[in-house]
Amino acid sequence: MQQYIRDRILPTVQKPARYMGNEWNIVKKSWEDVKVKMAFAFPDVYEVGMSHLGLQILYGLVNEQPDFLLERVFAPWVDMEERLRKKEIPLFSLESYHPLKDFHVIGFTLQYEMSYTNILNMLNMAQLPLLSEERPHGPLVIGGGPCAVNPEPLAPFFDCFLLGDSEEMLLEVLEVVGKYVEGEGKVRKEPLLKELAGIQGVYVPSFYRVQYREDGTVDNVTPVNEAAPERVKRRVLDDLDRSYFPVKPIVPYTEVVHDRMMLEVMRGCTRGCRFCQAGMVYRPVRERRMETLLKQAEELVAHTGHEEISLTSLSTADYSCVRPLISTLLDTYQDRGINVALPSLRVDAFSVDLAREVQKVRKSGLTFAPEAGSQRLRDVINKNVREEDLLSAVTGAFKAGWTGIKLYFMIGLPTETEGDLLEIARLAKEVLAIGRRELKEQGKKAKPTVTVSVSSFVPKAHTPFQFEPQDDRQVLKEKQELLARHLREKGLKFKWHNREMSFLEAVFARGSRKLAGTILAAWKNGCRFDSWEEHFNFDRWQAAFEQTGVNPDFFANRRVDYDEVLPWDHIDVGVSKRYLIKEHRRAIEESTTSDCRWDGCTGCAICQRFGVDNRLWGERHATD
């Protein structure tokens, strides 16, 4: 079958390299010599999935174990899907071309709500039943990643979810799976799930009964199996220096979204932006030692051939050893033409100084995220960035030779007014004026450009703004049009995110199990690749809501009371609901909260409840 696919199918599709396998550093294990076989399923195309560091970490980690193997599968593009369905070929892994249904475990990473129909499509293409209860003998279908902090809309399709850091947890899960293997693609699922439920971080949704009130809100979520805890506690790695990191990652032959080496300098962020789910659910901050990172960089350079090292985290400029790390990496590798990249920058001169230093080899664009145009609204969202910080940063950037700046904002934030929106336009024009002045003083003929990129606020579970509604789509449309009118000036570019996509993202981010039927109906209506503009079809989604009798506005556009039982309240990510309520109240009062790494505990409770403190290895480096 493998030869048939390569000879007869791949020559007829776009980008056949997506399905070839055989990349540099790929691991191919003997199928017969391992006990537990797992497929890592990424519900998007190869180019997106191969840019995901989590895939590389788990791929190397599992394949280092003699009794386990892990192979990859990505969502096939529509042309490949058509060919496979026509020939009735089941979806297969890249390493061995084995059908997914032959694996004992299929693990989906849940990175984005708009990939949910792709998950169902991949299971269907694997010729597997979609509902967990219809797969009594396996394979075991598991999910993890950021969307797993509210897995309820997907609950009927999955056997279990892994909450939090997976490096230790996944190996424990596979050890347990090994006890109940009964052949290719078969496991004794009932006793297996009971034992898995005893592992911290593993959530088995079928072990919980959800009861609703007449108004559609959740009345209670109750364990119905003695193995299930009342609340499932997220798993947190204490020491990143002792955790596994892949120094021989797979190197794709085709271009991917992020074609580079990745050094994970730290996990977590304590800046406390009230809209940011990652900043809440990945706490506390845990850093890697600089010595560890330099050793990892040396091995990555030796084993990949990439020409860029990306320092990854939620806020890399906050890494306490960032300056000496960058200096050492540049001193070591810039003569070899290897660039160092900072994918996330603070809105301050310190970040520009870092960017100037790292982009000596190759200069790329600079992006700053003020998030809101007015200081009042930045205080509401706890951005803790002042206008003078931004203006100082962009002035430094234009002085240092950049001609293009991208500014990222959100609209529809809680308490937003028309005045706040107009401040976005004013601020963008001021940045453009600074660029014109600085370039003119330098005698450059180049014209500055300022790109204003705007997304719509999406209320997310486990954040202070989980209680807030998203703006109605018509209101968002009017806000986008208002900004478009005020950003019509040469040198300004205005981009905005699809508001219907943002609406669906909000629906599923705050959704309950009642949405599972809607996801199924949407998939049957033909929805797939919903995050891709050319395939997104909101009419099909509207039809699915009508078919299942679900009002999506209930989840996206409704204000939530503090005492309401939320669909995800039984998921314990570490940050207490009491803290989220306190932060929401402070937002309404326009009060800011400081960063606990530098100014003391703010009361989120994760350090005390999980026994893991913020772990920093260097001193904070002040701006010169």
pLDDT value for 254: 85
More confident residue, 369 or 619: 369
Query: Per-residue pLDDT for 51 more than 90?
Result: yes
Q: How confident is the model at residue 609 (pLDDT cuts 50, 70, 90)?
A: confident
3-state SS assignment for residue 204: coil
Query: Per-residue pLDDT for 361 more than 70?
Result: no
Distance of CA 45 to the CA centre of its chain: 15
- Distances, alpha carbon 241 to alpha carbons 45, 120, 166, 332, 615, in Å: 31, 37, 15, 22, 11
Class of domain 2-233: alpha beta
pLDDT value for 27: 96
The answer to whether 550 and 514 have CB atoms below 8 angstroms apart is yes
Instruction: Provide φ and ψ at 54, rounded to 5°.
Output: -55, -40
Query: Per-residue pLDDT for 238 more than 80?
Result: yes
- The residue extents of the domains of the chain are 2-233, 260-364+594-624
pLDDT digits (tens, 9 = 90+) for 411-423: 999 999 999 999 9
pLDDT value for 620: 42
Mean pLDDT across the stretch 219-233? Answer: 97
pLDDT value for 167: 95
Q: How far apart are CA 222 and CA 318, in angstroms?
A: 41
Mean pLDDT across the stretch 56-77? Answer: 98
Output the average pLDDT for the chain.
Answer: 94
CA dihedral sign, ordered 278, 283, 289, 295: negative
pLDDT value for 621: 39
Query: Per-residue pLDDT for 610 more than 90?
Result: no
Q: How confident is the model at residue 346 (pLDDT cuts 50, 70, 90)?
A: confident
Class of domain 260-364+594-624: alpha beta
Query: Per-residue pLDDT for 613 more than 90?
Result: no
pLDDT more than 70, % of the chain: 98
Both tokens of residue 548? 């299942």
pLDDT value for 362: 54
Least Cα distance to 175 among 93, 54, 66 occurs for: 66
pLDDT value for 185: 87
Both tokens of residue 322? 């960032």
pLDDT value for 5: 92
CA dihedral sign, ordered 380, 381, 384, 389: negative
pLDDT digits (tens, 9 = 90+) for 422-480: 999 999 999 999 999 999 998 888 899 999 999 999 999 999 999 999 999 999 999 99
Long-range contacts, 551-554 (Cβ 8 Å, 24+):
551/216, 552/503, 552/504, 552/507, 552/518, 554/216
Mean pLDDT across the stretch 356-373? Answer: 77
- Distances, alpha carbon 77 to alpha carbons 194, 417, 566, 622, in Å: 37, 42, 36, 48
Query: Per-residue pLDDT for 624 more than 60?
Result: no
Mean pLDDT across the stretch 171-187? Answer: 95
pLDDT digits (tens, 9 = 90+) for 7-31: 899 999 999 999 999 999 999 999 9
pLDDT value for 623: 35
The answer to whether 554 and 527 have CB atoms below 8 angstroms apart is no
pLDDT digits (tens, 9 = 90+) for 563-595: 999 999 999 999 999 999 999 999 999 999 999
Query: Per-residue pLDDT for 619 more than 80?
Result: no
Q: How confident is the model at residue 71 (pLDDT cuts 50, 70, 90)?
A: very high
Q: How far apart are CA 361 and CA 338, in angstroms?
A: 7
pLDDT value for 121: 98
Query: Per-residue pLDDT for 234 more than 50?
Result: yes
pLDDT value for 561: 96
pLDDT value for 359: 66
Quick one: which H or E segment has residue 454?
strand 449-456
pLDDT value for 450: 96
More confident residue, 96 or 254: 96
pLDDT value for 2: 84
Q: How confident is the model at residue 363 (pLDDT cuts 50, 70, 90)?
A: low
Tell me, yes or no, if the two domains 2-233 and 260-364+594-624 fold the same way. no
